[in-house]
Structure 1
């Protein structure tokens, strides 16, 4: 199933499978979300929960037991329930089950709220810890934006003129190596070569938004002030770019496997609710 929301400027479509944004169109019918062509990458904007990225050996330890979790967790593969809908907003939820507890031994609810307002789509997240213990988790967005034409006609501009240091992946895990993303006049020219070793992972950024431009003309801005980490990724030669606000990221290569010690992990107390949001602004 797909739910559609609309306002005078934009229309968004969300799949119930994974509560995944699959379309964001302007009133001129311009599509901003990647079509999901499986020849490159068959997704549009998956939800990453209760982990972001890859665990070392795809496993973790908690309270003396070992659990298995595949890359990016299980939320993207679950069917969400639509619990509230009006013309310009829709709220989706999943809850823990016998199946999720086998992989992630916590009683939780995850809500995702999509809201159109003017030229922006805001995607808000609520994580509810219904357990009687602290709950470790990571949460991430993975929207892929369609970049038609020549990939190298596009560039990125971060809000602030800062040193853009990113971590490199090694076998899907965070290595100890970092690099500096080159820029000219605070613009980062896009080229597929940047992603030959997978995603660029920013653990610390001063900027709270970044802008995508084509031939020096800005057309889309991603606001992520409440998210501390950011991933940027594409497939080689693919006509899309993912801008990914995250809480957390893959295990480091020297991770000890204890989920409570994991770098970037969030710890939510019993009966507490975690809130975060980011937005996509059409310029």
Structure 2
């Protein structure tokens, strides 16, 4: 099922499968989200939960018991329920189930709220720990933004002027190897060579907003004030760029396999609630 929310400036569509944003258009019907062409990448904007990235050997342990979980977790493949809907907003919910407990032994509820305000789409994440013990988790966004013109016409402007260090992936795990990203006037020009080793992974990034620039004109801005980590990614010759605010990232090569010791993991105490949000502003 696909839900549509609107205001006077924007229209967004969200699938109940994975609570995935699949379309964001202005009132001229210009599309800002990637179409999901499976020849490159068949997603639009999956929700990453309860892990971000890849686990070492695709498994982890809790209380000395081993569990298997595939890349980015299971929320993106599960059906969410609509628990509130208005003209310009919708709230979707995923609750732990017999199926989820087999791979993640915690009682939880994950709520995703989409709200249109003027030219902004605000995405709120709420995680409830309904277990009697603390719950380790990561959560992240993976929106793919359409780049309808030539890829090299675009650049990304960071909020702050600095030299950025990003981590390289090896076999989908975070390696010890890093590279520096030199910014010119806070910007980096896009080219596919940047992504020859997969995503650019930034830990504890200081910039909290990124703007996609199209031929020197701003196209859209992603703001992620309290997200510590970030990924930027595309596929070779694909006409999209992903700007991905995260709490956490893939395992490192040195990971112990214990989920509560995982680098970047969040620990939510029993009966507590976690909240975060990011926004997409259209120019």
**TM-aligned CA deviation for residue 194 of structure 1:** 0.5
**TM-aligned CA deviation for residue 185 of structure 1:** 2.2
**Residue 173 of structure 1 aligns with which residue?**
173
**Residue 38 of structure 2 aligns with which residue?**
38
Q: Structure 2 CA distance, aligned partners of 1:206 and 1:227? A: 10
3-state DSSP of counterpart to 1:30: coil
**Residue 113 of structure 2 aligns with which residue?**
113
**Residue 19 of structure 2 aligns with which residue?**
19
3-state DSSP of counterpart to 1:193: helix
Q: Structure 2 CA distance, aligned partners of 1:188 and 1:247? A: 24
Q: How does 1:1-283 map to 2 (within 5 A)?
A: 1-283=1-283
3-state DSSP of counterpart to 1:103: coil
**TM-aligned CA deviation for residue 198 of structure 1:** 0.5
Q: Give runs of ≥4 in structure 1 deviating > 4 Å.
A: none
CA RMSD between the two structures:
0.6
Q: Structure 2 CA distance, aligned partners of 1:76 and 1:99? A: 14
**TM-aligned CA deviation for residue 30 of structure 1:** 0.5
Q: Structure 1 CA distance, aligned partners of 2:182 and 2:235? A: 20
Q: Structure 1 CA distance, aligned partners of 2:272 and 2:185? A: 44
Q: Structure 2 CA distance, aligned partners of 1:208 and 1:177? A: 24
**TM-aligned CA deviation for residue 90 of structure 1:** 0.1
3-state DSSP of counterpart to 2:57: helix
Q: Structure 1 CA distance, aligned partners of 2:186 and 2:272? A: 40
1:142-187 Cα offsets, whole Å, 9 max, x none, are 0000001210000011011022111100000000011111322221
3-state DSSP of counterpart to 1:17: coil
3-state DSSP of counterpart to 2:175: strand
Stretches of structure 1 that go unaligned for 5 or more consecutive residues are none
Q: Structure 1 CA distance, aligned partners of 2:237 and 2:164? A: 23
3-state DSSP of counterpart to 1:156: strand
**TM-aligned CA deviation for residue 206 of structure 1:** 1.3
Q: Structure 1 CA distance, aligned partners of 2:172 and 2:212? A: 26
Stretches of structure 2 that go unaligned for 5 or more consecutive residues are none
| Aligned residue pairs, count | 283
**TM-score by structure 2 length?**
0.99
3-state DSSP of counterpart to 1:100: helix
1:213-259 Cα offsets, whole Å, 9 max, x none, are 01111110000011110000000110000000000000001101011
**TM-aligned CA deviation for residue 97 of structure 1:** 0.6
**TM-score by structure 1 length?**
0.99
CA contact (8 A) 1:162 1:206 kept: no
**TM-aligned CA deviation for residue 119 of structure 1:** 0.4
3-state DSSP of counterpart to 2:169: strand
3-state DSSP of counterpart to 1:260: helix
